[in-house]
Amino acid sequence: MGRIMAIDFGTKRMGIAVTDPLKLIANALTTVDAKGIMYFLEEYFKKEEVECVVLGNPNSKGRGGDMTQMANDFFGKLKEKFPSVKIDRIDEFYTSKLAQRTIISSGINKTARRDKSLVDKISATILLQNYLETKQ
């Protein structure tokens, strides 16, 4: 039994979150440059067993445009590169706004709030938590 990983897809950066080994709690892991995501995943999968990757879907209910196509392309590359890993899609609509609200309400200072990688990590964590709640 492996962990579940969520990826908040982006063209510059991707936020990564993972569960604990028991798959109870979603935790922010890191933010990865989009160009290095496949290498990061390959190295992570060597160290940790991941049974499922959850990828944010920007096309829920007809929204998304070009970003939808890029996320779909990335989804295809993931399936091709890691055929033994289950890959699920989940609606990512509004996760960035929720992440920003979470950061503000946490009391983090303005300088730290400007760090967009923090929003990406928290967005991935929200995606993963939503996924876990739907699977219970």
Confidence of residue 110 (pLDDT cuts 50, 70, 90): low
Q: Which domain holds residue 129?
A: 3-134
- pLDDT higher than threshold 70 for residue 134: yes
Q: How confident is the model at residue 6, as a pLDDT?
A: 96
Contact 96, 118 (CB under 8 A): no
CB atoms within 10 A of CB 26: 24
Mean pLDDT of the chain, nearest integer: 84
Q: 37-47 and 66-81 are packed helices; what angle lies between their axes, rounded to 10 degrees?
A: 40
Amino acid at 83: P
Q: Report how far residue 105's alpha carbon sits from residue 64's, in angstroms, rounded to the nearest whole number.
A: 28
Residue 10: give its domain's CATH number: 3.30.420.140
Task: Quote the radius of gyration of the chain (alpha carbons, Å).
Answer: 14
How does pLDDT run across 77-97, given as a tens digit for each residue?
999 999 999 999 987 766 666
Q: How confident is the model at residue 51, as a pLDDT?
A: 94
Per the structure, the count of domains in the chain is: 1
How does pLDDT run across 5-35, given as a tens digit for each residue?
999 998 899 999 999 999 999 999 999 999 9
Count Cα neighbours of 120 within 13 Å in the Cβ-side half-sphere: 20
Q: Of 118, 83, 82, whose CA–CA distance to 99 is shortest?
A: 118
Q: How confident is the model at residue 126, as a pLDDT?
A: 87
Q: Which residue has the higher pLDDT, 131 or 112?
A: 131
Q: Report how far residue 121's alpha carbon sits from residue 34's, in angstroms, rounded to the nearest whole number.
A: 13
How does pLDDT run across 62-82, given as a tens digit for each residue?
555 777 888 899 999 999 999
Q: Report how far residue 28's alpha carbon sits from residue 105's, in angstroms, rounded to the nearest whole number.
A: 17
